[in-house]
Copies of this chain bind each other. A is one copy, B any other.
């Protein structure tokens, strides 16, 4: 068997549409899968953080992958989120997804408990020894135990089945350190960034692609940013990165993740249903406002009409202040407390 191709490009971590009963809306999920592929994403990434994998049952997580694999029929590679309660259950999920024909799985570092590097190593080593399918390590230190550089390096050297890392820290020097530590020995190992806000510079310093939530809402932009950057058209790429950042900020900081992305996905024409994490009455009201803001941003790009209530005037191109002002208020708080 020839070696599988290196993971490259934009993989979409997709939200799962739900019906009125809160169950998986299979028809809409299939329609959304097609739409993403048609709009140019290089791959799909179900059961990621954006996909709210923790809020589904074991059986539901499997069903999501099964539906999407069936709908995709090999048109694009699938990276299947496979983390379960413990190593044994995770390996079982790897086996199942392998049978479904996914390109690879992605496994988040253990969460809830904050594990030390040796424990994180031991967890992935056990998986590396038994998985029948290629594995992407998933480092998201804001939610789960961090995977540090020596651990990535050691795992990459010891386990051929571990073929990539998705890193959502957004930390560029950290990404460079990983690439320096791994690439000389494993040139085919793939580095994917999960932080849309730095996609262009991440690609420029050596990343192979990204798993980017924005690509579930504006795949046209995320994909184009990828293409422009790889083509070395820096000025145009920069302009698009600025635009994407504004969208990303508006979606990620406006409400508890991933509500902003769900609201935006609705604006692109999908019936997402309500999320499983209940919202207070106030939050529902706020979300309506956020939806208007997002609609204006999407309307600027021609992806939708302006809301009935209209949008704030802007002096050509993108308006740099209004959205940003609100978002910055929250960000400021975060920074001030050393969080962001």
Which residues in A have some Cβ–Cβ distance to B below 8 Å? 22, 49, 54-58, 85-89, 110-119, 121-123, 125-126, 141-146, 148-151, 153, 170-174, 176-177, 179-181, 184, 195, 197-198, 200-202, 204-206, 232, 234, 238, 241-242, 245-246, 249, 256-257, 276-280, 282-283, 318, 320-321, 324-325, 327-329, 331-340
Contacts and interface: CB of A to CB of B under 8 A. Distances in A.
A149 B328 contact: yes
Contact of A238 (B125, B206, B328): B206
B257 A113 contact: yes
Given A173-B170, A283-B119, A111 B114 contact: no
A43 to B, nearest CB: 23
Given A205-B200, A245-B176, A324 B119 contact: no
Contact of A110 (B115, B172, B177, B277): B277
A219 to B, nearest CB: 20
Given A114-B338, A201-B205, 10 more contacts: A49-B113, A54-B85, A86-B276, A114-B337, A114-B339, A119-B278, A119-B280, A121-B280, A170-B171, A339-B339
A339 to B, nearest CB: 4
Contacts of A336: 114, 116-117, 145-146, 148, 332-333, 335-337
A180 B197 CA distance: 13
Contact of A277 (B123, B177, B179, B276): B123
A143 B113 contact: yes
Contacts of A238: 204-206
A55 B86 contact: yes
A35 to B, nearest CB: 25
13 contacts: A49-B113, A54-B85, A58-B58, A118-B279, A122-B283, A141-B338, A148-B336, A150-B328, A173-B198, A176-B241, A177-B324, A201-B205, A336-B337
